[in-house]
Amino acid sequence: MTARLKPKHQRLVLVIVALVAIIGAGVLAAWGLRNQASFYLLPNELVADPPAAGQAVRLGGMVEAGSLRTDADGITVHFIVGDGEAKVPVTYSGILPDLFQEGSGVTADGSMGADGVFHADGLLAKHDEKYVPRELKDMTEAQKHQVVAEATE
Amino acid sequence: MHAFANPARFLRIARPLTPVLLLAGLGIIAASLVYGLAFAPAEQLQGETVRILFLHVPTAWLGMAGWSAIAISSLMELVWRHPLAALAARASALPGAVFTFLCLVTGSIWGRPAWGTWWVWDGRLTSMLVLLFLYFGYMALAGAVDREGGSSRIPAIFGLIGAINIPIIHYSVIWWNSLHQPPSITTGGSAMAGPFLWGLLAATLGFTLLFSGVVLARMRALLADIQTEARLRRKALEA
């Protein structure tokens, strides 16, 4: 004697089994893509597994504070991209994106040179998830506290 | 939910609710967009381009919510055979596709000044483009089934399978390095300052009300179509 399910419950079980199979396939696919689907390599990934000199890769990370300097020609810049673990020196000639600045995110298309410097032929600025009004940025810490205190009084 | 299996009962609620949702939605959208364009502060890095956020985020949310509505309706249709579920799924498809398209366009317009490019093939942008194509596929499939005849369960199955893309869109910026920023608003709090956050939540509420009103209006139109057709068929038999 087998307990017979109501047709409604039969369909529910069938759909759940199908969904589990689809989600399983999706998770496997995402897992398989975990490296290929990344838009860029972090400095520590680049240092741990260096690409051949001249091989096109995309590097992404933070522009280290204080590392940015511009050559006498005015368009060649040198800076260091770091991720807290490894650092890669980068050089680039061309127009910088508006949001490019020290302490902010960047991705660089290019290749490693034999000199250990990453030669970029394209830069994109990366914005992070923080949104701060411009007025607050120019204030000192004390002024900010004052504004907040006034607002909450 | 089965209380609404009766179309007459559904219409009794949907008919007065539609204009309320549409008008409230439009009012809140107008207020929040005026705030976003004229009164919200400039962002410290992005400057004035931050204002497109008040359009981009609600459209992204509704592009994903639209497919979630299709998936839930499809589940109701397949398992519980709810008579209005197929209508709800079809009614959500076109508005969802429009919002997904607007999300891609506004994101692209923001990306040019902020990132320095109109488009990149990173995880978030690519999965959102896949969502737009899934909408096109769903509309073509549902349209073909309704026109040419065939089981309405076929688009429902497609709607359920396509739902796998929704978590992929959400986690794309967490699983993979992407150019697109990770979510600013999470269950843990907000990395977005108050003046942006509240305007954004208001705009999202307004667009969601508008979306709901449009879906209800489209469901009523689809119901009216079915009733007209049934009446014509009856007339033809009598004649």
Q: What pLDDT shows up at residue B52?
A: 92
A137 inside 8 A of chain B by CB: yes
What is residue B134's predicted lDDT score, i.e. its pLDDT?
A: 97
pLDDT at A151 over 80: no
Tokens standing for residue B57: 């985020």
Q: What integer pLDDT is reported at residue A2 of this predicted model? A: 56
How is chain A split into domains, by residue range?
1-37, 43-126
pLDDT at residue A145 is higher than 70 = no
A100 → chain B, closest CA residue: B115
Reply yes or no on whether the pLDDT at B62 is more than 60: yes
Interface membership of A84 toward B (CB under 8 Å): no
B149-170 burial code (b ≥16 CB/10 A, e <16): eeebeebbbbbbbbbbbbebbe
Residue A130 has what pLDDT?
A: 83
Measured in degrees and rounded to the nearest 5, phi and psi for residue A22 equal -65, -45
Calculate how close chain B gets to A73, using CA atoms only, in Å: 22
Contact A22/B at CB under 8 A? yes
pLDDT per residue over B79-108, tens digit each?
988 889 999 999 999 999 999 999 999 999
Q: Per the structure block, which two tokens stand in for B133?
A: 């194509």
pLDDT band at residue B221 under the 50/70/90 scheme: very high
Q: Is B142 contained in some domain?
A: yes
The answer to whether residue B154 sits within a structural domain is yes
Cβ(B15)–Cβ(B227) below 8 Å: no
Q: Residue A1's pLDDT is what? A: 44
B31 within domain boundaries: no
Nearest CA in chain A to B118: A124
**E strand or H helix that includes residue B168:** helix B165-175
Domain range for B116: 55-180+196-233
Predicted confidence at residue B30, as pLDDT, reads: 96
For the segment A80-115, what is each residue's pLDDT rounded down to a tens digit? 999 888 899 999 998 888 788 888 889 999 988 888
> Structural domain tally of chain B?
1
A30 contacts on B by Cβ (under 8 Å):
168, 171, 175
Closest CA to B70 of B10, B136, B13: B136
Let me know if residue B126 belongs to a domain.
yes
B225 pLDDT exceeds 70? yes
Chain A residues in contact with B193 by the CB 8 A cut-off are: 131-133, 136
Tell me if B164 is assigned to some domain. Answer: yes
Q: What is the pLDDT of residue A32?
A: 78
Residue B86 lies in a domain: yes
**Averaged pLDDT of chain A:** 82
pLDDT of residue A114: 83
- C-alpha B20/C-alpha B6 separation (Å) is 22
Three-state secondary structure call for residue A73: coil
Cross-chain residue pair A39–B178, CB shorter than 8 Å: yes
pLDDT of amino acid A113: 85
Convert the pLDDT of each residue in B65-83 to its tens digit: 999 999 999 999 999 888 8
CATH of A43-126, one of 2.160.20.10, 2.40.50.140, 3.40.50.1170, 1.20.1070.10: 2.40.50.140
Binding annotation of A: 127, 131
Q: Please state at what angle helix B165-175 crosses helix A7-32, rounded to 10 degrees.
A: 30
Instruction: Reduce the DSSP state of residue B223 to 3 states and report it.
Output: helix
pLDDT at position B194 is: 82
Query: B123, A98: Cβ pair inside 8 Å?
Result: no
Does residue B47 lie within any of the structural domains?
A: no
Least confident of A21-30, B131-140, B198-207, B223-232: A21-30
DSSP string, B125-138: HHHHHHHHHHHHHH
